[in-house]
Structure 1
């Protein structure tokens, strides 16, 4: 690869990383606002209701409880609250009775984590109990506040529990949006593969394979969004009616994972064909390009929240075209056609069919 090509590839990588980072920030704005609300409410509740001038552990507990994901959120809130409360209480009692120091710190960690193990099997409970007890002894070593910090921790946890149960902004739409982004990225990679086969450009073949491999990041975002969507509709009484929608969006993960795997094989084989100067019939190249257009159409359907079935027409057409084999086609060419047929099946499942129905829409191969 030339220096210019490497520089261009590096710039594209940085731009892609920045776009993913900004996308993550966009997806987490709601969480940040909820955490900010939790900090304010916990701080002023502890100050006004308990009369504590510096209720440090109330907002800290709220932050730890709310976190940045919806998955198992209410359970996490309960476990963190219990763990923080145990650690703070044991730390405060140790300071009151024994003072602070290295031996006291070791004793308080062992005691807090032992109590947490007895009370709960959750790892978060045990870890938070140990961490918070260390924090109390190391950085808050004073007997003037008594067990007030324990009450602050409980306030923070209760505030987080209220926010987590009552006011989560719906993440139900996000899995479908992530699925649409993934399908659109699949379409772009298919376009790159088609262009690779048309031009015989080895550098372009390498870039197309890199694009296909980078789709794993999209899948990770989709899996996270799907898990959060299902979790929040189960946990929040305000969103239970959205459960079928969340479950349907979660079902897109498996076929898209298969689609991306097949796409990587397609991109790799196209690269092999280019490097070995193997002929791929123009009709097979057109088939890849047509599949790219079908994927882009499906992504649009998902983005517009239309019924996924609206994206089947073009895919069914590609499926029909893929059945015709060329007598002179070599191994790489037939592998390209075979992967197109596999990807069509995967995208038909994304469009709402089950596996058997999708397979039935892909005719048996035949020679003209």
Structure 2
């Protein structure tokens, strides 16, 4: 039952994410059918809506390429089917040969998978359902209509997909802060279950990073294809670069949380100043999350991170291996988060004062 509820909530989340794509495909399919039927006079223009749907898909990426591949694939398939049917008629062996020939020609043209598939599909359709040359030509025109409608539809995009990359990054940064707070609470209360649950949440965040990358990539595709959204390109490029540093911060966070589980499992303790470093890092991450979401300058985040870096130098080193690992990881994460604020690697490292013993932490499973 728990799996079913979780699965259902994931499906609802996906439906919210793809709702606009579905509506866009449905409208484009109906418009493409109407143009092919009412303007061109084709009695059964079923490939016009098909071409529009395939060209738009459920992603904003590579729409122009998809339109080109569908149109060229249909042209190649129709041409191959028409020539073969005209020479040899229709039948089972003819379908076998014409599909193979069309797909081989597409591969020899160094075509993409979609173009090769469309060449094979259309050659088989022409060889079975549309053996007359005129019918084959109308099918190719349907593909052109569907692709043209898809291009027009692709230019009409709401602002929400352009805001989503920033929202996803801010949400993940907020989760990062909650992991740090729960880690402190797990150590303070010797709560093994909380320590491992927090580590599991952090490990399960990999798909969230993928969401940030995918959202940024979709946004860039929108900015390139829609004439009304090109002003967002610089912001989306910044979010795409931010995803790299976000990934590093999350990975370093998982190393720290793994050490926290060791501390709690073994009944070890961490100094109050070490736990304070983790709490201060959570405060800085929360502030950075707000700055990312509001699209504002993260000056306050840099100040808080600078305070964490300064406090890490004062933390006592050598009391235990776990304490040293946590201090080293906090210092690494400060650099990661400073880079998230827009600093380059050298600037970020300069803001972290050298410690008396600043060895890298041991390599642990993430």
CA distance in 2: counterparts of 1:153 and 1:328, whole angstroms: 71
List per-residue Cα deviations over 1:154-177 (Å, max 9, x = no partner). Answer: 21112112322x323343322211
* Contact 2:82–2:132 under 8 Å retained in 1: yes
CA distance in 1: counterparts of 2:273 and 2:48, whole angstroms: 66
Corresponding residue SS for 2:205: helix
- 2:157 is aligned, of 149, 158, 168, to 168
Between Structure 1 and Structure 2, how many residues are aligned? Answer: 355
Shift of 1:180: 0.7
* Contact 1:324–1:366 under 8 Å retained in 2: no
CA distance in 2: counterparts of 1:60 and 1:162, whole angstroms: 16
* 1:128 aligned residue: 118
Find out whether 1:306 has 2:296 as its counterpart: yes
| TM-score, structure 2 as length reference | 0.87
- 1:338 is aligned, of 328, 345, 363, to 328
CA distance in 2: counterparts of 1:323 and 1:20, whole angstroms: 43
CA distance in 2: counterparts of 1:301 and 1:22, whole angstroms: 28
CA distance in 2: counterparts of 1:190 and 1:239, whole angstroms: 37
Find out whether 1:231 has 2:221 as its counterpart: yes
Compared with structure 1, are the counterparts of its residues 98 and 352 closer, same or farther at alpha carbon in structure 2 (3 Å cutoff)? Answer: same
* Contact 1:43–1:55 under 8 Å retained in 2: yes
**More deviation, 208-217/110-119:** 110-119
CA distance in 2: counterparts of 1:189 and 1:151, whole angstroms: 56
Find out whether 1:146 has 2:135 as its counterpart: yes
Shift of 1:111: 2.0
Find out whether 1:263 has 2:253 as its counterpart: yes
* 2:96 aligned residue: 106
4+ long deviations beyond 6 Å: 13-16
List per-residue Cα deviations over 1:16-42 (Å, max 9, x = no partner). Answer: 665554443333223222212211110
* Contact 1:61–1:157 under 8 Å retained in 2: yes
Corresponding residue SS for 2:32: helix
List per-residue Cα deviations over 1:109-137 (Å, max 9, x = no partner). Answer: 12222332354533321122123434555
Shift of 1:353: 1.3
| Structure 1 runs not aligned, ≥5 long | 1-9
Compared with structure 1, are the counterparts of its residues 222 and 327 closer, same or farther at alpha carbon in structure 2 (3 Å cutoff)? Answer: closer
- 2:77 is aligned, of 78, 82, 87, to 87
Compared with structure 1, are the counterparts of its residues 73 and 299 closer, same or farther at alpha carbon in structure 2 (3 Å cutoff)? Answer: same
Corresponding residue SS for 1:172: helix
Shift of 1:227: 1.6
| CA RMSD, Structure 1 to Structure 2 (Å) | 2.6
* 2:62 aligned residue: 72
Compared with structure 1, are the counterparts of its residues 312 and 25 closer, same or farther at alpha carbon in structure 2 (3 Å cutoff)? Answer: farther
CA distance in 2: counterparts of 1:308 and 1:113, whole angstroms: 54
Compared with structure 1, are the counterparts of its residues 105 and 211 closer, same or farther at alpha carbon in structure 2 (3 Å cutoff)? Answer: same
| TM-score, structure 1 as length reference | 0.87
Compared with structure 1, are the counterparts of its residues 310 and 96 closer, same or farther at alpha carbon in structure 2 (3 Å cutoff)? Answer: farther
Compared with structure 1, are the counterparts of its residues 50 and 89 closer, same or farther at alpha carbon in structure 2 (3 Å cutoff)? Answer: farther
Find out whether 1:42 has 2:25 as its counterpart: no
CA distance in 2: counterparts of 1:193 and 1:295, whole angstroms: 14
* 2:364 aligned residue: none
**More deviation, 238-247/212-221:** 238-247
* Contact 2:71–2:140 under 8 Å retained in 1: no
